[in-house]
Amino acid sequence: MSISVRDVAALAGVSVGTVSNVLNRPEKVTPETVGRVQAAIDSLGFVRNDVARQLRAGRSRTIGLVVLDVGNPFFTDLARGAEDEAADANLTVILGNSDETIAREDAYLDLFEEQRVLGVLISPLADSMERLVRLRERGIPTVLVDRGTENGGFSSVSVDDVAGGHLAVAHLASIGRTRIAFVGGPQSIRQVADRLSGARRAVDQHDGVTLEVIEVESQSVLHGRTAGEAIRDRPESERPDAIFAANDLIAVGVLQALSMAGTLRVPEDIALIGYDDIDFASAAIVPLSSIRQPSALIGSRAVELLLREVEHGADFMHEHIVFQPQLVVRASTVGA
Amino acid sequence: MSISVRDVAALAGVSVGTVSNVLNRPEKVTPETVGRVQAAIDSLGFVRNDVARQLRAGRSRTIGLVVLDVGNPFFTDLARGAEDEAADANLTVILGNSDETIAREDAYLDLFEEQRVLGVLISPLADSMERLVRLRERGIPTVLVDRGTENGGFSSVSVDDVAGGHLAVAHLASIGRTRIAFVGGPQSIRQVADRLSGARRAVDQHDGVTLEVIEVESQSVLHGRTAGEAIRDRPESERPDAIFAANDLIAVGVLQALSMAGTLRVPEDIALIGYDDIDFASAAIVPLSSIRQPSALIGSRAVELLLREVEHGADFMHEHIVFQPQLVVRASTVGA
DNA sequence: CGAAGGCGGTGAATCGATGCAACGGCGTCG
DNA sequence: CGACGCCGTTGCATCGATTCACCGCCTTCG
């Protein structure tokens, strides 16, 4: 069926071992033989079977990446960073999407185990640590992305989300807002919980500022819009004067809801700040203030850490990289 | 190192063949034996090595997907559709990003060949047909996504981009615009070329309407913004009164440039329509009119076609699915 | 002149799951 | 009572690339 080293060897009049040497250690082979073998490869259109190669090697050249939501540009940027870095090391990335669901996360981890991936990068759900420990015990190095250091024994690359939440709310307070609403959820996602806790801390530092938590089911435009509609329909006295959305997708949804009404102005009536600073934030109906994270960098650094663990074994001291987020002020909080 | 069927067989006191039967054809094995083997599997934490399995099978359970730009929500939606459909058939999708570059496209195709993927879905660049024919000759079924039927011998799933371009410009003409600019590129990308040709056709059907083509390097927010700035800085008499952007990313960029000036109003001074109707289109500074495509559906249908080819062999009559695009009118063309 | 060493090349064993031909034991039927 | 058939199980060959111990040949040097 398919052309194998055996066929190449036959045509070139050498043994299979030599063909393999030409492929992997050409310096060990006479230039003239290399030439003959190359000619045979070209004329047969031989393509090395990576599956067999991996079987022999006992280790694949693939990295598994599980993110919470591929629809979120933050994660596609992160994935792109990881892919580029992996490509440099001649590795491939399989991208899995857990949709914030344990079942899907598990399914991808199962798959990765069966594929004997080189390692796993994951932005895990709250309850998956046990599973990850098992993975590691099976010898698959794992690096947590977008998740902090508190977790024993894993390397991680993350952004200080508590600081980010603090930044956002301190900014809202600094422009004189006092009734702040946090729109986000589910709180079982650490990013959400941390951003909220940073927000709480900022509220505590500012007298007279209150925080209301509006929980949404998932971090999507749709759920943001639903939450925004609920806020819009409240009597004026019960409306917050500022909203901190747990990410930009939610913020965009809230913004849609608020501006569709036509009666509420952003930021005059309600200031709005998101999180992630995705490309579209600056192009929103009212350009969104946001908290910027170095998304691609997170991905590439995570791959670096992973490769280091692969080389030095899992006992290698685990490393934690924590980036600091950055406040980006636009019209949705400070007007035009 | 890793636990294999051999270990399981030893512990359960059966042969490796029986373990394999339990895994793949449990009905052929006495329930009692199945129990013993299962117990051994659980107690050892055995995980089937998919690499070896694939080698034996000669065929992987992975589909390769190459898209022009993962940063474009249209393609992530498409990928998601493909993934979901693939998951139903117990297959995995590897997502590759060509970034509109032949070199990267080639690299992914090489990779897929080496991995002996089950099949390839690709939204190809202009010059890659020859390469794809070779792929097919090697026995790897290929389905073109977002690319039409004109290409001999490939199944395809696409959207009628000529119709879409026509729709967009006919709409602009119907609201009285006469000096229309098309912003898009590179024209070597078929989608771009088709949308332009549809636009041209619409212009021909409306007296007094002219079309100017402004070529951009790539379909991104950034390049859209650059083009927008150039338009903004023209003297008023040379400015178009409507812009048709080849996709929503470009449209968003143009919109940023126009509205940052503060002097130009959309749609009063310049009407703007995009293409793809990504989620963010409706949340833009001025909600964007656009041409909607069923992105996820394109992905899932493509996987269906691919699987059909896998089953029936490449000689199977090739199928072409063409979706019709849909005009979505928002404030960027008809005001508030 | 013979032993040692270097070099290019060989070919069989190996990775782990699969699947098939063969086998043994047991019940059935002539 | 022997032949036959059935069924569960076995054991080995197989997929294709890699690797390593080994081989033959030529050079070099004591």
pLDDT of B14-29, one tens digit each? 999 999 999 999 988 9
Between β-strands B179-184 and B242-245, what pairing exists: parallel, antiparallel or unpaired?
A: parallel
Q: Per-residue confidence at A112, pLDDT binned at 50, 70, 90? A: very high
Which pLDDT value is given to residue B67? 94
Measured CA B20 to C1' C19 distance, in angstroms:
9
- Which residues numbered 307-336 in B keep a CB inside 8 Å of some CB on A? none
Query: B65, B97, B61: which is closest to B79 by C-alpha?
Result: B65
User: Which carries the bigger pLDDT value, residue B161 or residue B262?
Assistant: B161
Tell which phi-psi region holds residue B60, choosing left (phi > 0), alpha (psi between -120 and 50) or beta. Answer: beta
Question: What is the pLDDT, as a whole number, of residue B260?
Answer: 75
Pairing of strands B119-122, B92-97: unpaired
DSSP letter assigned to residue A16: H
Q: Give the pLDDT score at B23.
A: 94
List of chain B residues whose C-beta atoms are within 8 Å of the C-beta of residue A55: 49, 51-52, 55
Instruction: Assess whether the region A5-48 and the region A59-159+295-324 belong to the same CATH fold.
Output: no
CA of B122 to C1' of C24 (A): 54
Query: With 70 as the cut, is the pLDDT of residue A150 above it?
Result: no
Examine the pLDDT at A152 and tell me if it is beyond 90: no
B322: Cβ contacts below 8 Å, ≥ 6 apart: B148, B149, B158, B159, B160
Please count the residue pairs, one from chain A and one from chain B, whose beta carbons lie less than 8 angstroms apart. Answer: 118
A52 and chain B in contact, CB less than 8 A: yes
Residue B287 has pLDDT above 80, yes or no: yes
Q: Which residues bind near strand C, taking a CB cut-off of 7 Å? A: A 13-18, 21, 28-30, 32-33, 52, 55-56, 58; B 1-2, 4-6, 16-17, 19-21, 23-24, 46, 48-49, 52-53, 55-57
Q: What's chain B's average pLDDT?
A: 91
Tens-digit pLDDT profile for residues A233-271: 999 999 999 999 999 999 999 998 888 777 789 899 999
Residues 6+ apart with CB under 8 A from A136: A142, A153, A154, A314
Instruction: Enumerate residues 227 to 246 of chain B having a beta carbon within 8 A of any beta carbon in chain A.
Output: none
End-to-end, the C-alpha distance of chain A in Å comes to 67
Q: What integer is the mean pLDDT of B85-95?
A: 91
**A287: cis peptide before it, omega within 30°?**
no
Interface of B with A in 153-212 (CB under 8 A): none
Lowest mean pLDDT among A123-127, A329-333, B212-216, B287-291: A123-127
The 8-class DSSP code of residue A325 comes to: P
| Higher-pLDDT residue of A97, A303 | A303
Backbone angles phi, psi at B6, to 5 degrees: -60, -45
**CB B14, CB B36: distance < 8 Å:** yes
CB-based contact (8 Å) between A13 and chain B?
no
What tokens appear for A175 in the block? 């422009």
How confident is the model over B241-278, as pLDDT tens digits?
A: 999 999 999 999 999 888 877 778 989 999 999 999 99
- pLDDT at residue A335 in the model: 74
Q: Determine the distance in angstroms separating the CA of A112 from the nearest CA of chain B, rounded to an integer.
A: 9
**Which has the closest alpha carbon to B290: B334, B321, B239?**
B334
Q: Cβ B284–A286 below 8 Å, yes or no?
A: no
Inform me whether the C-beta atom of residue A285 falls under 8 Å from chain B C-beta atoms. yes
Is B26 near chain A, with CB under 8 Å? no
Task: Read off the pLDDT of each residue in A15-23 and give the average, rounded to a whole number.
Answer: 95
Which pLDDT does position B312 carry in this prediction? Answer: 80
Exposed, middle or buried: residue A43 (CB in 10 Å: 0-12, 13-18, 19+)?
exposed
- HEC readout, chain B: CCCCHHHHHHHHCCCHHHHHHHHHCHHHCCHHHHHHHHHHHHHHCCCCCHHHHHHHHCCCCEEEEEECCCCCHHHHHHHHHHHHHHHHCCCEEEEEECCCCHHHHHHHHHHHHHCCCCEEEECCCHHHHHHHHHHHHCCCCEEEECCCCCCCCCEEEEECHHHHHHHHHHHHHHCCCCEEEEEECCCCCHHHHHHHHHHHHHHHHCCCCEEEEEECCCCCHHHHHHHHHHHHCCCHHHCCCEEEECCHHHHHHHHHHHHHHCCCCCCCCCEEECCECCHHHHHECCCCEEEECCHHHHHHHHHHHHHHHHHHCCCCCCCEEEECCEEECCHHHHCC
Give yes or no for CB of A59 within 7 Å of strand D. Answer: no
Angstroms from A207 CA to nearest CA on chain B: 34
Please tell me which residue, B256 or A51, carries the higher pLDDT value. A51
| DSSP per-residue string spanning A94-156 | EEEE-TT-HHHHHHHHHHHHHTT-SEEEE---GGGHHHHHHHHHTT--EEEES--TTSTT-EE
CA distances from B74 to B67, B79, B98, B186, B297 (A): 10, 9, 15, 18, 11
The percent of residues above 90 in pLDDT, for chain B, comes to 72
Q: pLDDT tens digits for A191-249? A: 999 999 999 999 999 999 999 999 999 898 889 999 999 999 999 999 999 999 999 99
Instruction: Give the per-residue pLDDT at B149.
Output: 60
Residue A235 is predicted with a pLDDT of 94
Which residues fall within 8 angstroms of residue B33, CB to CB, at 6 or more apart? B12, B14, B18, B22
Say whether B116 and A45 touch across the interface (CB within 8 A).
Answer: no
Contact, A56 CB vs strand D, < 7 Å: yes
CA dist A268 and A180 (Å) reads: 14
Number of other CB atoms surrounding residue A106 within 10 Å: 15
Mutate to test the interface with A, among B4, B7, B24, B51 (most CBs of A within 10 A): B51
Confidence of residue B139 (pLDDT cuts 50, 70, 90): confident
**CATH superfamily of domain region A59-159+295-324:** Response regulator (3.40.50.2300)
**End-to-end CA gap in chain B:** 67
- Cβ–Cβ gap B97/A114 under 8 Å: no
Would you give the distance in Å from CA A101 to the centre of its chain? Answer: 15
Show the tokens assigned to B326: 């849909």
* Residue contact A60–B51, C-beta within 8 A: yes
Q: Residue B285 is nearest to which of A80, A97, A283, comparing CB atoms?
A: A283
Is the CB of residue B331 less than 8 Å from the CB of residue B295? Answer: no
Q: Which residues contact A95 (CB under 8 A, 6 or more apart)?
A: A65, A67, A70, A79, B95
pLDDT attached to residue B336: 60
Q: B60, A69 in Cβ contact below 8 A?
A: no
Fold of A161-293+328-334: Rossmann fold (3.40.50)
Q: Give the pLDDT score at A315.
A: 64
Contact B80 A95 (CB under 8 A): no
Main-chain dihedrals φ then ψ at residue A294, nearest 5 degrees: -85, 80
pLDDT surpasses 80 at A299: yes
Is B116's CB within 8 Å of A282's CB?
no
Are B280 and A252 inside 8 Å of each other by CB? yes
Torsion of CA A18, A23, A25, A29, to 10 degrees: 40
Q: Which residues of A touch B114 (CB under 8 A)?
A: 47-50
- How large is the average pLDDT for residues A282-294? 90
* Mean pLDDT confidence for A285-313: 92
Contacts of B69 in chain A (CB under 8 A): none
Token pair recorded at residue B120: 């390839």
Chain A nearest-CA distance from B219, in A, is 14
Q: Which of B114, B157, B195 is nearest to B296 (CA)?
A: B157
- Asked whether residue B6, judged by its CB, lies under 7 Å from any atom of the DNA or RNA strand D, the reply is no
Q: How far is A54 from chain B (nearest CA, A)?
A: 7
B328 closest CA partner among B275, B265, B252: B275
Q: Check residue A248 and give its pLDDT.
A: 95
- Evaluate whether B313 touches B140 at the Cβ level (below 8 Å): no
Min distance A166 CA to chain B CA atoms (Å): 26
SS3 label, residue A287: coil
Q: Do B92 and A80 touch (CB under 8 A)?
A: no
Report whether pLDDT(A149) > 70.
no
Is B333:B272 a contact under the CB 8 Å cutoff? yes
Minimum distance, in Å, between the CA of residue A234 and any CA atom of chain B: 22
CA A74, distance to chain mean position in Å, is 7
Q: What is the CATH number of domain A5-48?
A: 1.10.260
Name the residue closest to the C1' of C17 by its CA: B53
State the pTM of this model: 0.89
Question: What percent of chain A has a predicted confidence (pLDDT) above 90?
Answer: 72
Q: Are B328 and B251 in contact (CB under 8 A)?
A: no
Length of chain A: 336
Is B329 near strand D, with its CB below 7 A from some atom of it? no
Span CA (B89) to C1' (D5), Å = 38
User: Chain B within 8 Å of A76 (Cβ-Cβ)?
Assistant: yes
- C-alpha A27: how far from its chain's center? 41
Decide if pLDDT at B9 tops 90: yes
Of A94, A138, A139, the CB nearest to B92: A94
pLDDT for B292 equals: 97
**Across B100-127, average pLDDT:** 91
Residue B1: band (very low, low, confident or very high) from pLDDT cuts 50, 70, 90 = low
Express each pLDDT in B40-64 by its tens digit: 999 999 999 999 999 999 888 999 9
Query: Where are chain A's structural domains?
Result: 5-48, 59-159+295-324, 161-293+328-334
Instruction: For strands A320-323 and A271-273, give the pairing.
Output: unpaired
- Bridge-based pairing state of the strands B179-184 and B210-215: parallel
pLDDT value, residue A263: 79
Q: Which residues in B lie closer than 8 A to residue A138 (C-beta atoms)?
A: 2, 45, 47
